[in-house]
Amino acid sequence: MSRSATDSDDWAASSDDDRGQLVLVSGAVVVVALLALLVVHAQLGFAGVAGTTEQPPLNAVVGTTDDAVELATAGVAGRYVWATRDAAVEDFRSRLDPALTSVERAHAGEGGVALTTNDSAAAGWALRNCPDGPYREFGPCVADDGVVVQERAGETAVVAVLVDVRVATPRSRTDLTVAVRPN
């Protein structure tokens, strides 16, 4: 079978048309990708600007503080007898303090967040809210450095932590004391 010169010319013309279409489609793909990149960049830039003027929601700060207390409590649960409760509180605080610092840093872009334990509020909470009653043979509650501990079956149990939460922006400031009770 032999090809004529016209068949070869048709093939070359067809190849040029395909190449042109390929370039056109490639250009459209690049434009769509750049448009998506531009939209993402605009959204990220807008979120950063809006976050600097609004304070973080208090429930988000309190929720992450609650999680920090849970983790610190899990690290000391069942490890200390009542006679060594001071060491238990010290161990608990060594676990809690870095976690509270992480919470503060996590919300730094949304305004200033400061978290500190409140010893006087903890002492008042221990007097008013210490778990007791029928079928509960627990010891007394003791407040130490913002942490309320109680004797339970001869062991030291963390019952509550009283945390002062301060959220500040250039336009507002909110102060709140939260009693965080681990499960």
Q: Are 93 and 147 in contact (CB under 8 A)?
A: yes
* Segment 36-63, tens digit of pLDDT: 766 666 666 544 444 445 666 788 889 9
74 φ/ψ angles, rounded to the nearest 5 degrees: -60, -30
Q: How far apart are CA 96 and CA 72, in angstroms?
A: 5
- pTM of the predicted structure, to 2 decimals: 0.67
Task: Count CA atoms closer than 13 A to 116's CA, side-chain side.
Answer: 8
Mean pLDDT of 59-80: 93
pLDDT of 1-19, one tens digit each? 555 555 555 555 566 677 7
Q: Is the dihedral of CA 70, 76, 79, 80 positive or negative?
A: negative
Which of 39-53, 90-104, 139-153 is least confident? Answer: 39-53
Q: Is the pLDDT of residue 78 over 90?
A: yes
